[in-house]
């Protein structure tokens, strides 16, 4: 390699290079900087046919110099003319730059893996770039989105209105094609976190919901979809816990020739709830709770709504202000007594969070019915 001055009219940009997006304002600012302090780093070129040259890297500097009216510019002349090596060099150089978009990077990988010119292995690509195969796989996953969504995917971690971070987009990559881009626009508009994006995606991946239901989901705001997803996760965990605790209780009586008994009160409650929801059976305790709901002011009669819903409404505690003297007394607790009360409060909060998630699910179902 050597440093030479080349007529700017003999230099062409490489149309094959991985970077395509150049910010006009940034180039104008670079031109202003060059006019003040000069060109600090020459561009790199390689020789092609008919006495012309193509840029390896330095496209922004080249554009800025043209803007300033330079006739000749200092260039590093590469000895390497192998197109694959040059492309790897261009890709490596651009990956280090903040304004190189995740989609440009992904398309660069795809071109090397499955392009018209080259078909290198992912392992080879990983070794040449110093990136893990998982890193490459995640970038390629961004290409499942359509052009409109690709344009709004940015490389930062920030949650920006009308845009998607790479992590947000990856959370939605497994959503079926019929809903994927619409859902991505909704998540971008509502500025939901990557975690929320994954939760919402779970509803559309779940085969338990049919296509008409998923179409209705698309019309719901993201916060309601998150509530539905959280509730679905909780219900799955409860079902697994019920199965795990019910299995030993069913196996032991079979050996002893007796009727199955719940391992403990909690397990029995979980199994009863799961059974009631699955078969429609209503335990005596549930009936009593539902009847109690009808007695409460504004209560919902058990015969007009499903028992599980009436039971949930009946179980909702009434708000009660805690007197200042009670809080003062609690603050004075110490040792084991304080820890026991703290554990009880935390358990109550957890139960109330689950209760709130269930109520959000019922609300969403009611609103879906209203829209119909």
* Structure tokens that stand for 182 in this block: 């619409």
pLDDT band at 255 (very low <50, low <70, confident <90, very high): low
Higher pLDDT, residue 195 or 22: 195
At the top level of CATH, the class of 2-100 is alpha beta
Helix (H) or strand (E) holding 6: strand 2-7
Residue 340 pLDDT greater than 90, yes or no: no
User: What's the pLDDT at 304?
Assistant: 63
Domain regions of the chain by residue span: 2-100, 145-219, 228-316+347-371
pLDDT in tens, 39-85: 989 999 999 999 999 999 999 999 999 999 999 999 999 999 899 99
Choose from 215-219, 303-307, 311-315 the range with maximum mean pLDDT: 215-219
Beta pairing partners, 210: none
Say which range, 63-72, 191-200, 264-273, 354-363, has the weakest mean pLDDT. Answer: 264-273
Choose from 78-82, 232-236, 268-272 the range with maximum mean pLDDT: 78-82
Q: Are 249 and 261 a contacting pair, CB within 8 Å?
A: yes
User: What's the pLDDT at 54?
Assistant: 95
Average pLDDT of 181-208? 95
What pTM was estimated for this model as a whole? 0.63
User: What's the pLDDT at 285?
Assistant: 34
Q: Are 171 and 194 a contacting pair, CB within 8 Å?
A: yes
Q: Are 109 and 136 a contacting pair, CB within 8 Å?
A: yes
Residue 226 pLDDT greater than 60, yes or no: yes
pLDDT in tens, 307-332: 777 767 766 666 678 888 888 888 88
pLDDT in tens, 135-173: 999 999 999 999 999 999 999 889 999 999 999 999 999
* Structure tokens that stand for 347 in this block: 């358990």
CA–CA distance from 332 to each of 270, 328, 338, 349 (Å)? 36, 7, 9, 21
Number of CB atoms found within 10 A of residue 48's CB: 12
Average pLDDT of 220-229? 92
* Tokens 């996760």, residue located: 233
Q: Are 142 and 102 a contacting pair, CB within 8 Å?
A: yes
Cα 105 to the center of its chain, rounded Å: 19
Residues 6+ apart with CB under 8 A from 132: 126
Average pLDDT of 270-297? 37
Higher pLDDT, residue 294 or 190: 190
Number of CB atoms found within 10 A of residue 303's CB: 10
Tell me how long the chain is: 372
183: closest CA among 137, 153, 215?
215
220: closest CA among 68, 346, 328, 369?
369
pLDDT in tens, 166-193: 999 999 999 999 999 999 999 999 999 9
Residues 6+ apart with CB under 8 A from 136: 109, 122, 125, 126, 129
* Tokens 């304080």, residue located: 338
Cα angle, residue 303 at apex, residues 299 and 306 outer, rounded to 5°: 85
Residue 106 pLDDT greater than 90, yes or no: yes
* Structure tokens that stand for 279 in this block: 């078969």
pLDDT band at 282 (very low <50, low <70, confident <90, very high): very low
Residues 6+ apart with CB under 8 A from 151: 103
Question: What is the C-alpha separation between 17 and 311, in angstroms, rounded?
Answer: 64
């Amino acid at each position: 390699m050597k440093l030479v001055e080349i007529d700017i009219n003999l230099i062409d940009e490489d149309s094959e290079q991985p970077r395509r997006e150049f910010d006009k304002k940034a180039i104008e600012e670079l031109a202003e900087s060059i006019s003040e302090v000069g060109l600090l780093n020459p561009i790199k070129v390689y020789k092609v046919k008919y006495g012309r040259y193509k840029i390896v890297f330095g496209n922004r500097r080249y554009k800025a110099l043209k803007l300033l009216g330079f006739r000749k510019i200092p260039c590093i002349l590469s000895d390497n003319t192998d197109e694959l090596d040059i492309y790897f060099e261009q890709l490596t150089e651009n990956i280090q730059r903040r304004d190189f978009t995740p989609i440009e990077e992904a398309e660069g990988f795809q071109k090397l893996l499955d392009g018209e010119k080259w078909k290198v292995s992912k392992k080879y690509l990983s070794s040449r770039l110093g990136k893990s195969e998982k890193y490459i796989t995640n970038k390629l996953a961004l290409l499942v989105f359509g052009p409109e969504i690709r344009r709004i995917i940015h490389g930062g971690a920030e949650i920006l209105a009308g845009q998607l971070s790479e992590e947000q987009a990856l959370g939605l990559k497994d959503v079926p094609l019929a809903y994927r881009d619409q859902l991505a626009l909704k998540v971008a508009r509502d500025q939901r976190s990557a975690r929320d994006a994954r939760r919402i995606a779970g509803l559309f991946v779940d085969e338990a919901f049919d296509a008409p239901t998923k179409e209705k989901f698309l019309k719901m705001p993201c916060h309601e979809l998150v509530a539905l997803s959280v509730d679905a996760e909780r219900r799955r965990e409860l079902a697994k816990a019920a199965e795990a605790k019910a299995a030993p209780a069913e196996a032991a009586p079979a050996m002893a020739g007796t009727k199955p008994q719940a391992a403990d009160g909690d397990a029995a409650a979980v199994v009863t709830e799961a059974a009631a929801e699955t078969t429609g059976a209503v335990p005596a305790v549930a009936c009593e709770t539902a009847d109690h709901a009808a007695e409460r002011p504004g209560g919902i009669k058990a015969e007009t709504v499903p028992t599980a819903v009436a039971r949930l409404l009946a179980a909702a505690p009434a708000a009660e202000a805690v007197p200042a003297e009670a809080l003062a007394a609690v603050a004075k607790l110490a040792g084991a007594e304080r820890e026991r009360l703290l554990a009880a409060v935390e358990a109550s909060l957890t139960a109330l969070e689950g209760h709130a998630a269930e109520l959000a699910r019922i609300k969403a179902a009611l609103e879906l019915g209203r829209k119909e």
